Structure 1
Amino acid sequence: MGNALFVVWRESVEAMLVVGILYAWLKQNAAPGGLRALWLGVGSGIGLALLLGWAMLTVQDELSGEALEWFQTAILFVAAGLITQMVLWMAKHGRHLKGQLEAGLASATERGSWIGIAVISALAIAREGAETVIFLYGLGLEQGDGSALAIGAAAGFVLALATAWATARGLRFLDPRRFFQISGVLLLVFAAALLVAGVERLIGMGWLPPLAEPLWDSSALIDDTTAGGSLLASLVGYRAQPSLMLLLAYLGYWGAVLTLKARLAR
């Protein structure tokens, strides 16, 4: 529930930030039909994200056995990759996001194209929505509790509305830049947990060797089959009895992420 809340919160805040930028520019520049095009694009973007979710569930229902196992495992890796890519992309382009969106709107307005305005907003919202759908599907595979996932997602959306309101009001306690920095780190932790789950599935299917199993046993301290241990496992990828392959995958992920972040910083 906690990671679903956080993922939906972060993604929804980002989507609302994009809509806010587009709305403010269109209000200031009085583009003919611009606001109608904006809301049409927002609705279309949400619709595309929902269509993706429906397609994934439909494919899942059509598959069984090893094919279903492969599909679900692939989604875990896709979700981990998307989270990582999104966080690194925001670290590199976040400061220029407002300028890029406004330049696109200016170009569409000069051409008198309300379709261009709708497409810009639709693509921006569809991207955030598609990422959220894939993240939630991956989290659902890990947690297996659909009701808790739905409650967490709903709570995350409500929290995002409160955050967007606070940002619009210019409340000093909320620094958007710091929010995205901290939330980005937490999202990378979630991505590592999804990666571990995917590698564990590949080991269970016999496609990856465990190499050495277990490397240690910390069940006496925190057992990952208990409620607290299971929560820790889904949040950060904790395993009480990890194999060497799991450890290498975890360390390799963080090594690659830290290297890329260092390059972006330079």
Structure 2
Amino acid sequence: MLANYLIGLREGLEAGLIVGILVAYLGKLGRRDLLGRLWIGIGIAVAISLGVGALLTWGPYAMTFQAQEILGGVLSLVAVAMVTWMIFWMATHGAGLSKELRSQMDAAIDRSWVAIVVLGALSVGREGVETALFVWANVSGGSDPVLGTLGAVLGILTAIGISWGISRGLVRINLSVFFTWTGVFLILVAAGVLAYGIGDLQEASVIPRGEPAYSLVGVIPPGSWMDTVLGGIFNFTPEPTWAQVIGWLVYVVVTVSLYLGVLHRRPKPAGRVASGSERVETSAAGLGTTLRAYSTNAS
């Protein structure tokens, strides 16, 4: 439940900031008449995300066991790839996200009302589909479906509240630190999903299974509270195969090393005063400042 809560919180906060920046920017431009089109796009994104989640949940039941295992394994690998890309994208593009969204909105306004709908759908839809896919993969790995879904929903609701608070100046949070540390945590969660996906492909005989690399059954018995907690958060299994162990280790070592390298090369926070109360910072924390500034100027 904790892993899915943080997934929902992080993805929801990203989506909330994106929506807040787009809405506030339209207000600053004096084009509130376009808000309806933007909300149509956001509604489409939410509907698609829910549809993907429903399809992943109920779609595989009509398939054979082998087909289900292959599908589960492949989608787990896709989920790991998408979340990994999201972590690195936010680490490298967070500082310029507000400027990028403003440029996209300017271009959409110059084109047509359809472009604004598409912008809203794509900006939020990516976060929604990533959330649906990763939560499904994590729940499939052994988490309780009800608690896993509840955790993701609570995370999203928390993100909505935080985003609203940031836009009103009621909440101050260092988004740079938040995204940095949740990025490290999600790398470990993704490593467990990767190992689970490898296990699915081994069950389907796509990858040779082989003997377990080791057994921790004596230390962490199946069904114990520790097995439940570790399994629910990190997709822990007490008897992993060599392929799962190697896949987990390679992913964690390579991804963490690259991630720390990206963080080390990232520009240090530095601010400058722009027009009015707008302040643009070269860190993810600047998103909240920009959002509050736009909301103030638009009101």
Could you tell me the TM-score, scaled by structure 1's length?
Answer: 0.89
Which one is further off, 237-246 or 36-45? 237-246
Q: CA deviation at 1:137?
A: 1.3
Distance 1:247 1:14 in 2: 32
Q: CA deviation at 1:248?
A: 0.9
CA contact (8 A) 1:31 1:109 kept: no
| 8 A contact 1:73–1:198 mirrored in 2 | yes
1:158: how far off?
2.3
Q: Which amino acid aligns with 2:200?
A: R
- Matched residue, 2:256: 258
Cα distance, 1:169 vs. partner?
4.0
Structure 2: stretches of 5+ with no match in the other structure: 266-299
Measure how far apart 1:79 and its partner are. 1.2
Contact (CA 8 Å) 1:76, 1:194: kept in 2 or not?
yes
User: Retained in 1: the 8 A contact 2:166–2:172?
Assistant: no
Aligned to 1:232: 230
Say if 2:72 is the partner of 1:69: no
Residue 246 of structure 1 aligns with which residue?
Answer: 244
State the shift of 1:95 in Å: 1.2
Which residue in 1 is equivalent to 2:142?
143
Bigger Cα displacement from structure 2, 173-182 vs 84-93? 173-182
**Whole-angstrom distance in 1 between the partners of 2:63 and 2:144:** 21
Runs of 4+ in 1 over 4 A off after TM superposition: none
Q: Match of 1:219, as an amino acid?
A: V
Q: Which moved more, 1:25-34 or 1:203-212?
A: 203-212
After superposition, the Cα gap between the structure-2 partners of 1:258 and 1:186, relative to the gap in structure 1 and judged at 3 Å, is: closer
**2:204 paired with 1:205:** yes
- Provide the residue aligned with 1:185 in structure 2: 184
- 2:34 aligned partner: 34
2:154 and 2:145 mapped to 1: Cα distance? 14
Residue 260 of structure 1 and its aligned partner are, at CA, apart by 3.1
The 10-residue stretch of structure 1 (132-141 or 161-170) with the greater mean CA deviation from structure 2 = 161-170
Change over 3 Å in CA distance of 1:177–1:90 after alignment to 2: same
- TM-score of the superposition, structure 2-length normalised? 0.80
Deviations 1:152-211 (A, max 9, x none): 122212211232233234457521111111111111111011001111223333333455
What CA deviation, in whole Å up to 9, does each residue of 1:1-60 have, x standing for no partner?
221211111111111110000011000001263211111111111112122233334531
Calculate percent identity across the aligned residue pairs.
Answer: 28
Letter in 1 for 2:255: V
| 1:132 counterpart residue number | 131
* Counterpart residue number, 2:282: none
CA 1:218–1:146 in structure 2 vs 1: closer, same or farther (change >3 Å)? closer
- Of 188-197 and 45-54, deviating more is 45-54
Q: Which moved more, 1:147-156 or 1:248-257?
A: 147-156
Checking the alignment, whether the CA contact within 8 Å between 1:189 and 1:235 is kept in structure 2 is no
**Aligned counterpart, 1:60:** 60
Contact 2:143 2:231 in 1 (8 A): no
Show CA shifts across 1:53-78 (max 9, x none). Answer: 33334531331221112111212111
The structural deviation recorded for 1:230 is 2.6
